[in-house]
Amino acid sequence: MKINKLLLLMSACLGGAFYACEDSSVKDDFNYQDTVEFEREKMVFQENADTVQIPVIISGFAKNDVEITVEVRRKEELTAREDTNFILLEKTVYIPKDGSATSIPMKIIDDHVVNPDRSFDLVIKSVVGAEKARISQVCRVVIANEDFWPLVTMGKTNYQTTEHDDQLVIPLTAAGIFYQPTQVAVQVNSGTAVEGTNFTIDRKNFTFDNEHTADSIVVKLAPLELQEDCSFELNLEITDGLPGKVKTSKVVIKDVRKFVGFPSEKIKILKNEKDAQVPVVIGGVRSPRDLVAKISVKSSGSLVEGSDFTLSDNVLTTKGDTVLFTTVHFTTDGDLSGDLIELQVEEVTGGDIDETIPAATLGVVEGVEFNRSNWEILSFTSEEPSAEGSSNGKAIHLIDGSSRDDRGLGTFWHSRWGSEPYGVLPYEFVIDMHEQVKVGTVRLYRRQPSNSAVKLATIEISDDNVNWSPMYDMDFTTTDPDNSKILDLPTVRTARYIRLGIPNRGGNGNTASLAELMLFGLPLEPK
């Protein structure tokens, strides 16, 4: 009996020892050296993304399941609100045994309202089975706005008609997403043309939605003989529905006289314009065929015809055209500012003409800066839509003219870096100026102050967005004031479209930024 009791006692002790060893091994299986953290310290999601995932990773491989609990940290400056702007579908998740990652599912609530980007901080509150990382236990989550106000436009900012026309049809186009029907009213600002006297508009109210995005304004013209050109403005005003953007158009009713001559008494020529095309206008002649106008030099100041310049295409024969061009070719180098050339209509044959506008003075001038308010970014290869904030990063900031003396130096474009796909050289932008102009000078500003500086940029211009001029390099090895680069084109070019490039050469890197693009020159004559 004593022996049996002794054996039972030893057995109990050994069993207790085995139990203690097994308990210790379970503790080792948790491997407290493993750490749990967010995969990224910042994540950006579009407001219309619906359900997204916020990744959580573990360093190493835990030998048992790891439990992770998260919570939302409220800060006054962070405007995203739980259950209003987003819903965390799970706040406690698990990384399974021998696993490496999990994610927090989140549903984004799209309010269909234009607003600044919203954000909040997601925090790892507790971890069971591993350590909580000290560095990446907070993830800044940004909900990027993707809503834009509807845009209603009248196609162009300038329309022309004549006193002989019965009516002018101006197209109305609506773009964007309409979450409800939008009503637009036409407002008339009479100038030298008076509503009810020179023109009438029968219908001034229009409604647009996602299925009805086009309409037209019909301007009926009065059958009056004008003594001079007259004009008025049309404005669009959204009267009901979501706020949106509209634009203004100017309408010019041309006085139609039978004349041959220059569009104005003074015609400007850019200083680097070697072949200046001077317009000669035939007005009021419905079929000006076989009309011949001879153009000659009346005076040239200090310049000598045949030595400093030559006049070509000076015998103009029209085959129905209403605008012809004579060409002044400058053979001298140097600054011609202040020199004047006066051209004249020497003789007109073959047409029933009321009058001639016999002379025009050509003045060589510096180019003026073109207004960018009507410019449009047609395409781009990369932009940062949200990580630079609501007023930076996007391609439109290349031409926005925002702040800093209205030159646009207060905002900037940046290549994409905040979320995939990241920006990779080369970068390209195509811009529509919505009018034909004569371009003499290009000026490009880098971000103020320089950050992710572009070393080399390229400029091309086009009349039709198909055929492009030779590529001009803008080398920032040396810069002009305000960290800019000024390029005087070798010859003046006529253009409507601009293609700005950041090539994969010249020391450029994938991370790039620019502040503003400007062009200088003159509008085409006649307008």
Last residue of a domain, one of 366, 399, 422: 366
417: left (phi over 0), alpha (psi -120 to 50) or beta: alpha
Angle at 167 between CA 161 and CA 170, to 5 degrees: 75
pLDDT of residue 397: 93
Say which range, 71-85, 262-276, 418-432, has the weakest mean pLDDT: 262-276
Per the domain annotation, does 510 fall within a domain? yes
Residues 453, 356 share a domain: no
Last residue of a domain, one of 312, 347, 366: 366
Residues 470, 385 share a domain: yes
| Pair 231, 252: CB distance under 8 Å | yes
Q: Indicate whether 15 pLDDT > 60.
A: no
Per the domain annotation, does 288 fall within a domain? yes
pLDDT of residue 282: 78
pLDDT band at 21 (very low <50, low <70, confident <90, very high): very low
Mean model confidence pLDDT for the chain: 82
Per the domain annotation, does 55 fall within a domain? yes
Residues 137, 43 share a domain: yes
Residues 481, 445 share a domain: yes
Please give the Cα distance from 120 to 106 (Å, whole number). Answer: 12
Per the domain annotation, does 2 fall within a domain? no
How far apart, in Å, are the Cα atoms of 320 and each of 9, 280, 324, 524? 124, 13, 10, 21
Residues 386, 359 share a domain: no
Q: What is the pLDDT of residues 459-510, one digit of tens each?
A: 999 999 999 988 999 999 888 888 899 998 887 888 999 999 999 999 999 9
Residues 216, 81 share a domain: no
Per the domain annotation, does 5 fall within a domain? no
Type of residue numbered 151: L
Residues 373, 502 share a domain: yes
Type of residue numbered 256: V
Q: Which residue pairs from 397-405 have beta carbons closer than 8 angstroms and sit at least 24 positions apart in sequence? A: 397/515, 397/516, 398/429, 398/431, 398/500, 398/514, 398/515, 398/516, 398/517, 399/372, 399/375, 399/431, 399/516, 399/517, 400/372, 400/516, 401/372, 401/373, 401/516, 404/448
How many structural domains does the chain have? 4
Output DSSP code: residue 387: T
pLDDT of residue 336: 63
pLDDT above 90 as % of the chain: 35
Residues 140, 167 share a domain: no
How far apart, in Å, are the Cα atoms of 367 and each of 125, 179, 496, 520? 63, 45, 16, 5
Q: Indicate whether 239 pLDDT > 70.
A: yes
Residues 411, 283 share a domain: no
Q: Indicate whether 26 pLDDT > 70.
A: no
Per the domain annotation, does 169 fall within a domain? yes
Per the domain annotation, does 217 fall within a domain? yes
Residues 85, 210 share a domain: no
Residues 53, 81 share a domain: yes
Residues 437, 498 share a domain: yes
Output DSSP code: residue 98: T
Q: What is the pTM of this model?
A: 0.47
* CATH code: domain of residue 455: 2.60.120.260
pLDDT of residue 462: 94
- Span 415-420, mean pLDDT? 92
Please give the Cα distance from 118 to 109 (Å, whole number). Answer: 12
Per the domain annotation, does 420 fall within a domain? yes
What 3-state class would DSSP assign to 498? Answer: strand
Q: Which domain holds residue 470?
A: 369-523
Per-residue buried b or exposed e for 47-61, using 16+ beta carbons within 10 Å of the residue's own CB: beeeebebebbbeee
Q: Indicate whether 291 pLDDT > 60.
A: yes
* CATH code: domain of residue 120: 2.60.40.2030
Q: What is the pLDDT of residues 186-228, one digit of tens each?
A: 999 888 888 988 899 989 999 988 888 899 999 998 877 666 7
Q: Write out the two tokens for 389.
A: 């904030």
pLDDT band at 351 (very low <50, low <70, confident <90, very high): low
Last residue of a domain, one of 332, 366, 400: 366
